[in-house]
Structure 1
Amino acid sequence: MTQPPQPPQPPNEPPQGGFGPPQEPPAGGFGAPQEPPAGGFGAPQDPPPGGYGYPTQPPQPPQQPGYGYPTQPPAQPPTQPPYQQQYQPPYQQQPFQQQQYQQFQQPQPATAFGVPGAGDGGGKKSKTQLQIIIAAAVAVVLIIGTGVYFLTSSGDGDKNEAKDGSSSSSDGGKDGDKGVSGGGGKEQAPVNTKAKVAFQVPLPKVTDLTSVYGSWLSDTTYVKTGINQIVGYDLVKGTQLWTIPLPGEPCAKTDHVSKDYKTAIAFAAGKPTADNKYPRCTKVGVIDLKAGELLWSKSVKGTNAGDRDVGFSEITLSGETVAGGGFDGGAAFDLNTGAIRWKPDVSSDGCYDSGYGGGDGLVAVRRCGSSSDPQLSVQALNPLTGAPISSYKMPAGVDYPHIVSSKPLVVAADVGDTAGDGSGISDFFSIDEKTGKLRARISAAGKFEARCGSTDVEKCSLIVVGNDKIYLPTAEHEGEAEYGRTNEIVSYDLATGKSTTDRADAGERYKMYPLRMDGSNLLAYKTPPYDKGGQIVSLDGSSFKETLLMENPGDKAIRDAESGFGTISGVEIRYQDGRMFIASPFLSKPSEYDSRRYLAMSFTTKK
């Protein structure tokens, strides 16, 4: 372990060109808390010329790549939802900036809740005027109806029943949902939810597409993968605490962290050379996120790889077991010692483990048959021995199952290549991990923004499982605002496969995506529109009522930086105790847009 020099204190303005330390800030500092306007946030303001929904400045073309939305009002309303483009995982070696701008090159029909044509890509004045007329008429009816209601309602015993998954309560929540456990969450709203920039990690120079997969948190440290290294940063100040050099590029990671802050990675055994430009990913290791130590690393050989070391494309963690998978088969190690629990082997019938899903349980994807006609099953395993506990045979037409959750067991798959939207998901399968019986099957094609890597076993994003439900962001669709699109988070019952009454609206010009469970509550991130910062919110596990935990600054320079980390399905976002960390999983060679890009960035509501 080496001790690198400390970086400069957090800059107050992103660098204006190239790489290296940020430049001197203006007075007040980049990310310094701003005073609210007179009357406080949310105070009524005079409408701008042209009415509400119109930008106050002439529309400008996009200035900075981001979550698929320009940071300035678009000159023309967008013609398609940003995340509907064909998903391109990093291993396909697509240039980073090309990924970010793919949305502008591949127009696709807008969808809302999976219904084609529900959104037309932007507001239209005629439609807005019609909506105003309708709204006025409805308001009159509601005023009259409200008076009738209060005269005739009995009060306590009356309940409105939600239909089609929408909520009957006025706060956007739901009534009387059962089966929620966990007693709420640890994350609480601060007195002041207005956040400031805590620190930024400068963007290192690279000459080619380079993977920097991995962001983790301990109680004292933010840990981020760098160029052939893992670096720990002070959670508050952002100063480097330690560095772990690696012999080659990190190529696989897991988001799972043990109770004592250990996690697993896979990396190449050496750096690229003229003779070997793409070294294989053959090393598995475990990192102590608090101590800043690589506890062990090793390679293994297996019958499927001949004399070569086994190559790993994925790594995961469950309890005291680290499991890695790839085309050579799967292997497992003791978390603390690195002792091999089992190693790659091909059975007499040609079957092998192609990958694993970890977390509360350990699940293997078992592959048999030929590559052109594979027979696939999902097996719940004993993490200590690898012995199967149960097995579920995937239906025909599934080439690559994706483990969304190991307990409860949820699998995503594109059955017969019917997803049609590049998400890799046409259906979710809820499976009893004890018996291997199917509990429910949920159709997902075209309905949600969830994504899974094309061939990866455990690389799905924008999906959270908890409370025996699966939480999903709906496809973006047109809202009421003149510019901008919106979406919702909804859930499905894993026992029945039916939609629940959970429904959280992102709000005009925001898009909302689930992050993780916090006890029985769901944490979500709202991507910023062109004139505001992003938000972290908590959705109550029972009522689905939204609580704002953090709102990032709306200054243009900060918005550009927050939105410059790539498409939302690939961005690494961590939130803990009033601190948000955002980072990219891969980097590309320098471009004209890098003046507003960082390796990682932190926001905080702490004073």
Structure 2
Amino acid sequence: MTQPPPPPPNQPPGPPQGGFGAPQDPPPGGFGAPTPPPEQPGYGYPQQPPTQPQYGYPQPPTLGAPPGPQGPGGPQYGYPQPPTQPMGAPPGQPQQPYGYPTQPQYPQAPAPAGGGKKLSAQMQIVIAAVVAVALIVGGGIWYANSGGGEENPNAKGGSGSTQGQGGDKGNGLGGNGKEKVPANTQSKLSFQLPKPKVTDLTDVTGSWITDKAFVKTGVNSIVAYDLDKGTPLWTLPLAGQVCGSSRHVTADHKVPILFEATKRVAPKFYQPCTEVGVVDLTSGKLVWSTSVTGGSAGDQKARFSEITLSGTTVAAGGSDGGAAFDLANGNPRWKPSVDGNSCYDMGYGGGEGIVAARKCGSYDAGYVMIQNLDPMTGRPISQYKMPAGVKYASVVSTKPLVVAADVGDTAGDGSGISDFFSIDEKTGKLKAKIAASADRFGASCRSTKVEACSKVLVGNNRLYLPTEEHEGSTGEYGDETNEIVSFDLADGKTTSDKADAGDRYTLVPLRMDGGNLIAYKVPPYDKGGQVVSIDGGTMKATVLMENPSDKSVRDAEDSFSEDYSEILYGNGRMFISALMVSKPRESSSTALKEYLALGFSTN
């Protein structure tokens, strides 16, 4: 997990609300009013109903405190600071090995009692074979957790593709994915969108794929581009900058957004994030837009920082409270309010359900409630009170319900995660608390956002997490790698699931595809990136796309960091786009060219 850079300089002061204890970003947010972007890779691609996941690097199946000391990480995903090094470039310093268990020592063949004759070579072989069989039968769990054994030479997927620990039959999970292996997995660079000219740091978070277009937030606009040529298909001008957008999209390509009522002007380059709307990504039309009053905003327009979607309900939350709207016409279903306990909805998780993270009490003596809501009325169906020491919480999945939090600010790296909580959404009872120490795992949540986690997936009743980078098998400079592992959401225990990135690559989970995982493989400095499908049953990775390794294309891909970008993949196409854009850098002959987005295609 990773340390965030400081927030952008144009943020106005806001109420005391922050990264699990730190002062909060300014009230307007979501995808705008320069708030650090949330996202998650795979953001915005129409999602199937999640069947959710888990995570686990070999460790004892116990719950509670993180199993090891906390440690520093890299930059947090979603913050607008430029990365310190381009994606795939050789790291500054090699890390220590990730912590594989030591190789078990096999017993020596016993000598005859009394120190008589030595056993024959044949007898020693027989005894050794018996011991080995006993170890395999009795110690199979160690083998599965450690990932020992050779890579299957027949496994598809090229570099880093591995045969899953469950063997050919796997664990009975996975499958039903829509993404198929293209006839040719070698991609070409389809287009490069130039970075727009801006006078100040500007949030451009928000990107989606339809059957005809790649759609991207621009400056005071949303623009659709041809999937293969990158030529504009339509442009939707807006009154102000987009400052929030949903990662969930309807089947007919409609998406909720937040935007500012007027354009930004010097010197503050900031406007309140008050307008709620729905965009038709097919036609490029703003279906409706509205604003509401109430909550701590009183008679003024309520300010929102994020927005989501579940069924026919659009829900927006922020420091002024939460509100919900009818997807079809924008009619309010509930408005911001503050009750007698000073409770208000900070934000919502969407998808299969609507789950609120509700802040109650004073800043110094407050607590957080997780409420599964009736999407038509906002009334709680169930609720769970987060432990003491939790100031903010992030909803990873609504069904099954999985929440991330930094309990007592113990993560120590700005990732917003010390533990995951698996909660029964019907009863509100805690099923499992899963410790996820920052020095082991690479997921990240924007702590002041409720639905802004990245590098974490839920599916197959599991929580899937990437490990932090560690030294590869060669132990050479630039040989860092990682894995994706899982936890069982029913009991919080680690499973035998493990997908290896392979030496010099690192895996970034993007989204679920049925029971399979779609992941991006960050390449070494001399290779192109890859997109792989990981079977949820066997954890076998199959390459769907491999990007060109020639220098000009590598430089373009490397100009994006996976921690500061949105990465979408679907139907043989991959799009990687910026979350923030800033003023042009000072001219330099060695400076990397900057882009708003890149498109790759195997079609």
Matched residue, 1:37: none
CA contact (8 A) 1:83 1:449 kept: no
Partner AA of 1:451 in structure 2: S
How far off is 1:368 after superposition?
0.9
Matched residue, 1:429: 421
How far off is 1:219 after superposition?
1.3
Q: In 1, Cα distance between the equivalents of 2:141 and 2:342?
A: 54
For residue 456 of structure 2, the aligned residue among 440, 454, 463 is 463
Query: Structure 1 residues 397, 189: CA separation in 2 closer, same or farther (over 3 Å shift)?
Result: same
Partner AA of 2:595 in structure 1: Y
1:352 and 2:341 matched: no
Partner AA of 1:589 in structure 2: K
3-state DSSP of counterpart to 1:377: strand
Matched residue, 1:601: 598
Matched residue, 2:146: 166
CA contact (8 A) 1:187 1:576 kept: yes
Unaligned runs of 5+ in 1: 1-66, 68-81, 120-143
Q: How does 1:71-470 map to 2 (within 5 A)?
A: 84-87=73-76, 89-90=78-79, 95-96=81-82, 110=95, 113=98, 160-163=140-143, 165-167=145-147, 170-171=151-152, 172-175=163-166, 178=171, 180=173, 183-274=175-266, 277-446=269-438, 447-470=440-463
TM-score by length of 2: 0.76
1:475 and 2:461 matched: no
1:590 and 2:584 matched: yes
3-state DSSP of counterpart to 1:515: strand
3-state DSSP of counterpart to 1:404: strand
RMSD (Å), alpha carbons: 3.2
Q: Is 592-601 or 218-227 further displaced after alignment?
A: 592-601
Q: In 2, Cα distance between the equivalents of 1:436 and 1:410?
A: 11
3-state DSSP of counterpart to 1:300: coil
How far off is 1:165 after superposition?
2.4
Query: Structure 1 residues 600, 415: CA separation in 2 closer, same or farther (over 3 Å shift)?
Result: same
Q: In 2, Cα distance between the equivalents of 1:378 and 1:597?
A: 40
3-state DSSP of counterpart to 2:287: strand
3-state DSSP of counterpart to 2:555: helix
Q: In 1, Cα distance between the equivalents of 2:558 and 2:203?
A: 19
Number of residues paired by the alignment? 492
CA contact (8 A) 2:190 2:601 kept: yes
Query: Structure 1 residues 453, 598: CA separation in 2 closer, same or farther (over 3 Å shift)?
Result: same
Question: 1 or 2 for the larger relative contact order (CA 8 Å, sep ≥6)?
Answer: 2
Q: In 2, Cα distance between the equivalents of 1:86 and 1:217?
A: 27
Unaligned runs of 5+ in 2: 1-40, 42-70, 102-123, 153-162
CA contact (8 A) 2:88 2:558 kept: no
How far off is 1:275 after superposition?
7.1
Query: Structure 1 residues 309, 530: CA separation in 2 closer, same or farther (over 3 Å shift)?
Result: same
Question: 1:166-214, CA deviations, whole angstroms, 9 ceiling, x for partnerless residues?
Answer: 3467443022554626x43111112221111111111111222110010
Q: In 1, Cα distance between the equivalents of 2:336 and 2:125?
A: 69
Question: 1:498-549, CA deviations, whole angstroms, 9 ceiling, x for partnerless residues?
Answer: 1111111111111111111111111110011011000001111111111111
1:532 and 2:533 matched: no
3-state DSSP of counterpart to 1:565: coil
Q: In 1, Cα distance between the equivalents of 2:256 and 2:518?
A: 24
CA contact (8 A) 1:195 1:603 kept: yes
How far off is 1:250 after superposition?
1.3
Matched residue, 1:52: none
Structure 1 runs of 4+ aligned residues shifted over 6 Å read 101-104, 106-109
Q: In 2, Cα distance between the equivalents of 1:495 and 1:397?
A: 24
3-state DSSP of counterpart to 1:286: strand
Q: In 2, Cα distance between the equivalents of 1:602 and 1:295?
A: 28
Query: Structure 1 residues 102, 550: CA separation in 2 closer, same or farther (over 3 Å shift)?
Result: closer
Partner AA of 1:553 in structure 2: P
TM-score by length of 1: 0.75
Q: In 2, Cα distance between the equivalents of 1:246 and 1:509?
A: 43
Q: In 1, Cα distance between the equivalents of 2:268 and 2:323?
A: 25
Q: Is 327-336 or 172-181 further displaced after alignment?
A: 172-181
Q: In 1, Cα distance between the equivalents of 2:481 and 2:148?
A: 20
Identity of aligned pairs, percent?
Answer: 55
Q: How does 1:514-525 map to 2 (within 5 A)?
A: 514-525=509-520
